[in-house]
Amino acid sequence: MAFDPIQNIPAPSLNLHALKIHKMSNWIKNKTLKRYWFGRYPRIWLYLTLGWFASLCTFFLSLWVGLFFDLYFQSSLSKTLLLEKSGISIDHLGTFFWIMGMVITLKFILQYNERKGIHQDVDRFIHYLLAKMYRRQLRQNPELFNSRPFSKYLLRYSGDLQPVRNLLAQGIHRGIRDVLFLLSGLALLCWLNFTWTLILAILSMVIFPIFRWLDQKQMLMIPFRRNQKNDLLHFVTESFGIQNHLHQQGKVEKKIQAFNQKNTELLQSNLQNQRFESLRHAGVNILGPLMVGIILFFSWVHVQNAAPGDLLAYLLVLGSLGSAVRNVVKAPEIIEKGMLSLKKIERLSKKQPTYPSPILFVPEDEKQPNCPKLSKKG
């Protein structure tokens, strides 16, 4: 009968290692990151500042669109309150496009230097990890080195490097940058209309526990799924190494059944993770339209309706926050995956004695009594 990998799949049970995930993921206190990332590359704070300034250009360009309606249609309905408060007054479309072009050019320069700088420093950090890991492994005691399966070593050099790269560039750097962007946007929204911003804050307090619950569910499964992938790779490399022996012993079909069982368990974990990931993805994508709809509804039913220009300015700023919200919601999972890979690389790169000194046992009757120290004087 053909093997069906979907039917009758037992749900995976989380082990104790997965329950300790939050204790392992403290990237702020991690010694490797403190010493060799934050300590060696202080320019990362400069790149963070460049990215933050580039995000502020996004706010300016969003509000600049509203000004176009004032100039082109000669309609004060779309005039933005923030530009008025900033003292910006443009009378000609030519000047409007010149300023817009300069801001776009500035945004390009800032984002180019930010991305180039942070990713080059990430490459240097990965280069350091590879060199340290290879050096420590090659200097290990041969007996200790051969006691571990080679699949574990290969994973450190391949599958674990990309999560570490994502940890630094997308988890930590982009996460902090987008948090600063959201805080700046929150300040702008409060300036434009404090009442609407308070409503959005209350809505965020209601929605946040839902995303937090999804984060906890996924984070508990991350180490469990990683261990399943590692075990499956180890099983494959071990099976290929004894392929001739399996044919001689007539155990090929038995080995295939064992592989199918492990592969099915991994499939079930992936399917369960995709359910949570789909909930998170769909929830994050409706946040923007949901907030816009609530603001529109409140401006309709509230007795003190705001001016159309104020509403337009508010919606333009609010709409520019959507991408940052998605990145901040995704950052904890990226950091968690990266920290798990970094921890494994750290354990493999831990300094081991090349040849440990043997411990000699001396019988009690052969021990010499303590002798007085001899004087150096003749």
Contacts (Cβ under 8 Å, ≥6 apart) of 45: none
Residue 289 lies in a domain: yes
Q: Which domain range does residue 291 map to?
A: 22-227+269-356
Angle between the N-to-C axes of helices 252-301 and 194-241, in degrees from 0 to 180, rounded to the nearest 10: 170
pTM: 0.72
Neighbours of 286 (CB within 10 A): 11
Please tell me which residue, 346 or 353, carries the higher pLDDT value: 346
**Between these two residues, 164 and 378, which has the higher pLDDT value?**
164
Question: Does residue 35 form part of some domain?
Answer: yes
Q: How many domains would you assign to the chain?
A: 1
What's the CA gap between 356 and 353, in Å, rounded?
A: 6
Residue 28 falls within a domain, yes or no? Answer: yes
Are 196 and 295 in contact by the 8 Å Cβ rule? The answer is: yes
- The two tokens of residue 82 are 């923030």
368 lies in some domain: no
User: What single letter denotes the amino acid at residue 10?
Assistant: P
Residue 143 lies in a domain: yes
In a domain, residue 63? The reply is: yes
Q: Is the pLDDT of residue 179 over 80?
A: yes
pLDDT number for residue 104: 92
Write out pLDDT tens, residues 150-172: 666 666 776 678 889 999 999 99
**Overall residue count recorded for the chain in this entry:** 378
Can you tell me which residue has the tokens 């159309």? 308
Tens digits of residue pLDDT in 143-152: 766 666 666 6
Q: Is residue 106 part of a domain?
A: yes
> Does a structural domain hold residue 257?
no
pLDDT at 109 over 70: yes
Three-state secondary structure readout of 157-209: HCCCHHHHHHHHHHHHHHHHHHHHHHHHHHHHHHHHCHHHHHHHHHHHHHHHH
| pLDDT reading at 173 higher than 80 | yes
Q: What is the pLDDT of residue 222?
A: 77
Instruction: Give pLDDT tens digits for 330-352.
Output: 888 888 888 888 888 888 777 65
Distance from C-alpha of 140 to C-alpha of 194, rounded to nearest angstrom: 62
| CATH assignment at residue 347 | 1.20.1560.10
